[in-house]
Structure 1
Amino acid sequence: MNSFALANAAKWIVDLMEHTGTEHVLLTREELAVILSAGRSCLVLQGFRAEGILDTGRGTVTVRNIGLLHRKSSRRACAASRWRTDQHTGN
């Protein structure tokens, strides 16, 4: 899973948390896959679980480390900017 996909997933989870006002987000793997346009959403969740960022249950995500999740989500803008630069420079 590339860093842009991880950052995008983190951003979505942060946005859902802020919208609901709780660290318990109702989100299934299938919903995350649709949001990310990716079939491997379970890899994203497994990675975040392994880092202690969140726990998952049946249709729920519970954020355990909001600071780290925020840092992951902020990489989204950096990765997108880097991709655009690479496209212009041919790297």
Structure 2
Amino acid sequence: MTPVPFNNFLTINIDEINIDTSKKINVEIINTNGAKVYNNSFLTKQKIQINTSQLTTGIYLVRVSNGNASTTIKAVKGNILLDKNETKE
């Protein structure tokens, strides 16, 4: 999944995920409150690009599934500080 962190677009490289691409691929993005903020299905065997400009800065879970199997990846939108004592160089 690129870029890391992502901003206005998130690209999922299906080749890098161990999932059967002969079926429809479903992508869900879930925020830290557990709310589903994105849900869409794709018929592709390569890359999926998602417009994420409407999402706020923060941490998300991206779930990619095909009906039989799923993979969940943690993703970060924007440059956030995870520790209050961390300084930006």
Q: TM-score, normalised by structure 1?
A: 0.32
Q: Which has the higher helix share?
A: 1
Q: TM-score, normalised by structure 2?
A: 0.33
Q: Which has the higher strand share?
A: 2
Q: Which has the higher contact order (CA 8 A, sep 6+)?
A: 1
